[in-house]
Copies of this chain bind each other. A is one copy, B any other.
Amino acid sequence: VPTPARTSLDEIVAAGRSILESEGLEGLTMQAVADAVGVRAPSLYKRVRGRGALVRLIAEDAARELGAATDRARRGQDPRRDLVAIAAAFRAFARANPGAYSLLVARLPEEWRPDPALNARASEAIIAVAGELAGPADALPAARTVVAWANGFVGMELAGAFRLGGDIDAAFGYGIDRLADALAAGGRRR
């Protein structure tokens, strides 16, 4: 007599993501997830290979969401406006999902890391726009400069590393403006 399924992979991933946000990565235990979905811990292994695989599924779920958010921010008319809008969407996602965002940038064991293709997809929009601003020859280093800045800014903000006071929103605006100027100037130089 087959036992009816009492949970699902989607439910497990969603519960895990919620626990990650409220309890952090150390709080994301198989026991906590099992409790949340109403099952005993060993049962989780019917649907996930283990904790590392669950972490990875959560990261991939978040990467897809981040990619969709940055895509929505891009309108395709004015590259500079798009750059600002994508950066804002990126930051908004990280602030709304600090646990998941940290997972996307953390140095984790290989098996825990999200599919590289998904991570690439999450920076697709910003790469395209950076290329439009800096010119095709500099598209890749320009995109890397913007993505690195955005990742670093948001990461420091989440880590509470901006401790000297001042207006963080203004610093974000200053940064994206200066970067947009710099990429456009670098492109014109050729």
Report which A residues bind B (CB closer than 8 A): 24, 26, 98, 102, 105-107, 109, 113, 116, 119-120, 138, 140-142, 144-145, 147-153, 155-156, 158-164, 166, 170-171, 174-175, 177-179, 181-183, 185-186
Specify which of B24, B102, B174, B185 is in contact with A145 (CB 8 Å cutoff).
B174
Q: How far is the CA of A144 from the CA of B119 in the complex (A)?
A: 25
A-B contact sample (14 more), CB < 8 A, given A141-B174, A152-B152, A174-B186: A105-B155, A107-B155, A119-B163, A141-B166, A142-B174, A144-B153, A144-B166, A144-B171, A148-B156, A149-B149, A149-B152, A152-B155, A178-B185, A181-B186
